[in-house]
Structure 1
Amino acid sequence: MNQEVVKRDIRNLSPAEIKTFLVEHAEPAFRAKQIAEWLWIKSAVSFEEMSNLSKTLREKLQAHFAINAIKIDQSQFSADRTIKNTFKLYDGNIIEGVLIPTTERMTACVSSQVGCSLTCKFCATGYMERKRNLDPAEIYDQVVLIDKQARENYGIPLSNIVYMGMGEPLLNYANVLKSVEYLTSEEGLNMSAKRITVSTAGIAKMIRKLGDDNVKFNLALSLHAANDKKRNEIMPINEQNSLKALAEALKYYYLKTKNPVTYEYIIFNDFNDELEDAVELAKFCKHLPCKVNIIEYNPISFASFTNAEEDKTEAFANYLKKQGIITNIRRSRGKDIDAACGQLAVKEK
């Protein structure tokens, strides 16, 4: 029985590998730059689109490589204009990504893994198994498709990208950094790194690596408790990455990059919403320049948490502000279509 040969995605080749292929197939090496422009600036999804390449070269590329572009399988529109997308990958796996429009910005929330291995108790994705990492091109494709969606529906291009969809970005470290390179490079989409935020549940050694690599994008830490006992309860990853270890890693990161950090704090009713929790958080904030985003909890069917009362949320935020900490209360977007923070999960069919 003949099994079809799975072609390698040309976007996973380095420029040097593409040049080698061209030379080996009697094509001029300078065509590599033209191919790269089609892939990363013009976001081509087929070799046929590459109109300034000869038909013979396009056929050679088609015979040896694929462009495994992701596709929108389904889009849901929220009453608040948020759009949630289900993306189908070349191997049949499904991920989700969200367009979040506000008056100040147009943000793409993208996934970095199929599923997640971290089992955070309040997050729908945490109840899925992690199937695989996304390639840099699969992350890049989400941005391209959501940008197109923003332009078509609202007449405004994307202004911001957050790696806050499915998966833990720092467990797909090399591919996430490579995707940022394509998004920010002049040979790619030429977006500003300052408009990209990568969010992590907190892996100390990888936060240090971000410092060593002197990244230019923003870092957000999903904190949700500044107390090891409570954080262990809702985020098992804290057992190997204690608050002390995270604080030391973040100080190292700041020393290397001079980038302030954002702490994300989902405020749960009768769990982490008391004044003593705010005192602990303020103490944790003293380690380095930072800001705090207090986030409404978005219910999921797997967990029994509920959102904190409005007056407690306000008191919590006011305490932090009095301590000189920049604090914002973030209202949920797309909650009616399960597109809000912590709600992304592929429903089993």
Structure 2
Amino acid sequence: MNTLSQTDIRTLSLEQLKDFFVSIGEKPFRAKQVYEWLWKKSATDFEQMTNLSQATRQRLAEHFSIRPIRIAQTQKSNDGTIKTAFSLHDTHLIEGVLIPTPERMTACVSSQVGCSLTCKFCATGYMARKRNLDAAEIYDQVVQIARQAEENYGQPLTNIVYMGMGEPLLNYKNVLQSVELLTSPEGLGMSPKRITVSTAGIAKMIEKLGDDEVKFNLALSLHAANEQKRNQIMPINETNSLPALTKALQHFYQRTKNKITLEYILFYGFNDTTQDADELYRFSKKVPCKINIIEYNPIANASFLNTDEDTLLRFQRHLEQKGLVVNVRRSRGKDIDAACGQLAVKEGE
């Protein structure tokens, strides 16, 4: 049977699985067993479900398919970062990254095939958006990258960042469902405090995150706290202005009490002056937050350059003297195009 014409069993809820088992004359508790195999044990084949009879496994295979993502290629950076190109069931490719540090093992996962936001400094922004990833495809990236952490470093995965390809808040339902699968006791049972979802700034969806009272962390890719400059590098700002984002972030904080992370790439001669730092300071005072200054990773399509070390330190100190918490995030995996803003796959089209 053509598995592409079958329903992927991982799109079914526990209730729908129960209904299926009842419809074939089986006990409803079988659904819980299958659900556990899928989301706790990350099974990718019905034959792995050894506490089900052969006949039951056969019935499942007749009605459903499981379509896990596959590893197409991996590259290891000089600094230990591992970038993986994953092949999806419809032959699209996405990328995920394992970022190892002495303190943590972080999986950076994608939420879309390509991206529709056209940020001028990001390689993924120069790709077309093909489609959203479903929750299982996001979950699979975490499972595979967690395996790499164990195999290469003998360490469990500690953190997940939705900072790969795509804008997570434009795939809202599937992203939240994937977080549920990763954090629920019926799934991988990770702490939501170890998960960060990064957005370029979709104001109404940030408000919705607040209304849904999410438990994970939110990061805003800000990169300029000046309307004109942000419009230049992030066209999304034209419809999601800084005042609109401020209002949305305040709503999010009010509902979740989660401090926001502001991500700020320093571009040489563009947003790295003391005046830019002052604008960032004024924006940051409107909502409880911390600031991550990110090293820029140049890409072929854009002419931006990373700022120099002296300017970066001056910018950081200026903010710290005003009482802000500022971390500098150094690039990892730059030599294999695995660093922030460098993910882009060529699908041979």
Please say whether Structure 1 and Structure 2 have the same fold, judged by a TM-score greater than 0.5: yes
Q: Whole-Å Cα distance in 1 between the matches of residues 282 and 152 of structure 2? A: 44
Q: Whole-Å Cα distance in 2 between the matches of residues 141 and 257 of structure 1? A: 28
> 2:121 matched to which residue of 1?
122
Q: Whole-Å Cα distance in 1 between the matches of residues 28 and 143 of structure 2? A: 27
Q: C-alpha displacement at 1:3, in angstroms?
A: 7.9
Within the alignment, does 1:79 sit opposite 2:117 as a pair?
no
> 2:30 matched to which residue of 1?
31
Listed as ranges, the matches of 1:166-185 within 5 Å are 166-185=165-184
> 2:140 matched to which residue of 1?
141
> 1:165 matched to which residue of 2?
164
> 1:8 matched to which residue of 2?
7
Q: Which runs of 5+ in 1 are unaligned?
A: none
Q: Whole-Å Cα distance in 2 between the matches of residues 3 and 70 of structure 1? A: 17
Q: Whole-Å Cα distance in 2 between the matches of residues 4 and 235 of structure 1? A: 40
| Per-residue CA distance 1:232-284 (angstroms, 9 max, x = gap) | 00000000000000000000100000000000000000000000000000000
Q: C-alpha displacement at 1:347, in angstroms?
A: 2.1
Within the alignment, does 1:153 sit opposite 2:118 as a pair?
no
What secondary structure is seen at the aligned counterpart in 1 of 2:249?
helix
State, as a whole percentage, how many aligned pairs show the same letter.
Answer: 67
Please report the TM-score for the alignment, with normalisation by the length of structure 1.
Answer: 0.98
C-alpha spacing 1:331/1:3, structure 2 compared with 1 (3 Å): closer
Q: Which runs of 5+ in 2 are unaligned?
A: none
Q: C-alpha displacement at 1:6, in angstroms?
A: 1.1
Within the alignment, does 1:107 sit opposite 2:106 as a pair?
yes
Q: C-alpha displacement at 1:14, in angstroms?
A: 1.0
AA paired with 1:273?
A: D
What secondary structure is seen at the aligned counterpart in 2 of 1:116?
coil
> 1:280 matched to which residue of 2?
279
Q: Whole-Å Cα distance in 1 between the matches of residues 3 and 274 of structure 2? A: 62
Q: C-alpha displacement at 1:4, in angstroms?
A: 7.3
AA paired with 2:13?
A: S
Larger mean CA deviation between 2-11 and 166-175 belongs to 2-11
Q: Is the 8 A contact 2:3 2:65 kept in 1?
A: no
> 2:228 matched to which residue of 1?
229
C-alpha spacing 1:274/1:254, structure 2 compared with 1 (3 Å): same
Q: Is the 8 A contact 2:261 2:289 kept in 1?
A: yes
Q: Whole-Å Cα distance in 1 between the matches of residues 110 and 347 of structure 2? A: 18
What secondary structure is seen at the aligned counterpart in 2 of 1:90?
coil
| Per-residue CA distance 1:103-124 (angstroms, 9 max, x = gap) | 1100000000000000000000
Q: Whole-Å Cα distance in 1 between the matches of residues 193 and 347 of structure 2? A: 36
Please report the TM-score for the alignment, with normalisation by the length of structure 2.
Answer: 0.98
Q: Whole-Å Cα distance in 1 between the matches of residues 183 and 281 of structure 2? A: 34
Q: Is the 8 A contact 2:94 2:165 kept in 1?
A: yes
Q: Whole-Å Cα distance in 1 between the matches of residues 260 and 322 of structure 2? A: 17
> 1:262 matched to which residue of 2?
261
What is the CA RMSD across the aligned residues, in angstroms? 1.0
What secondary structure is seen at the aligned counterpart in 2 of 1:107?
strand
> 1:68 matched to which residue of 2?
67
Q: C-alpha displacement at 1:348, in angstroms?
A: 3.9
Q: Whole-Å Cα distance in 2 between the matches of residues 211 and 80 of structure 1? A: 37
Q: Whole-Å Cα distance in 2 between the matches of residues 240 and 18 of structure 1? A: 41
Larger mean CA deviation between 318-327 and 335-344 belongs to 318-327
Q: Whole-Å Cα distance in 2 between the matches of residues 183 and 117 of structure 1? A: 26
